[in-house]
Amino acid sequence: MTPNKFHYYDGKIYKCIFDPVLKEVRAIITEQIPSGSKVIDIGCGTGALAFKLAKSCELVTGIELSSRMITFADKRRREKKIDNIVFVHSDAAYLPSIKDKKYDYAVMSMIMHELPLKYRSGILNEAVRIAKKIIIADYSTPLPFNLHGTIVRAAEFFAGIEHFSGFRSYQKNGGIYGFLEEKALQVKSQLNDSSGVFSIVQAQ
Q: Give pLDDT tens digits for 190-204.
A: 999 999 999 999 999
- The residues that bridge with 41 in the sheet, in sequence order, are 62, 107
Domain 12-203 -> CATH class: alpha beta
Q: Which amino acid is at 16?
A: C
Per the omega criterion (within 30 degrees of 0), is the bond before 116 cis? no
* pTM of the entire predicted model: 0.93
Q: 139 or 182: whose pLDDT is higher? A: 139
Nearest partner of 140 among 193, 179, 202, 203, judged by Cα: 193
pLDDT tens sequence across 87-99: 999 999 999 999 9
pLDDT per position as a tens digit, 106-126: 999 999 998 887 888 999 999
The dihedrals phi and psi of 79, each to the nearest 5 degrees, come to -65, -35
> What is the distance, to the nearest Å, from the Cα of residue 81 to the centroid of all Cα atoms in its chain?
24
What is the spatial distance between Cα 90 and Cα 3, in angstroms, rounded to a whole number? Answer: 8
Query: Mean pLDDT over residues 175-189, rounded?
Result: 93
